[in-house]
Amino acid sequence: MKVSRYWKAIVAAVVAGAGAAGTALDDGKVTGPEAVVIGLAVLSGLGFTWAVPNRTTAAAEPPKA
């Protein structure tokens, strides 16, 4: 399955943001610092995942003997 580096980064950002938001909503409200953490989680999930290139198909195959 071939996944675009953009979709990979978007999914990572959504998952990171949802995890941070779930933790922030534990008490029923989101405070200012919690909102900053959610934003940083989304940005770091997006940026770090986008920066790592996908493996090429040649590298994915085991070496032939």
Residue 59 lies in a domain: no
Q: Which of 47, 49, 19 is nearest to 34 (CA)?
A: 19
**24 neighbors 34 (Cβ within 8 angstroms):** yes
Residue 43 lies in a domain: yes
Residue 56 lies in a domain: no
Residue 64 lies in a domain: no
Dihedral sign, Cα of residue 49, residue 50, residue 52, residue 54:
positive
Q: Which domain holds residue 43?
A: 5-51
pLDDT digits (tens, 9 = 90+) for 13-44: 999 999 999 999 999 999 999 999 999 999 99
If you average pLDDT over every residue of the chain, what do you get?
Answer: 86
Residue 25 lies in a domain: yes
Q: Which residue has the higher pLDDT, 3 or 6?
A: 6
Q: Within 13 Å, how many C-alpha atoms sit on residue 43's CB side?
A: 6
Q: Which of 3, 1, 29, 34 is nearest to 50 (CA)?
A: 3
pLDDT digits (tens, 9 = 90+) for 48-63: 888 888 777 665 566 6
Q: What is the pLDDT of residue 8?
A: 87
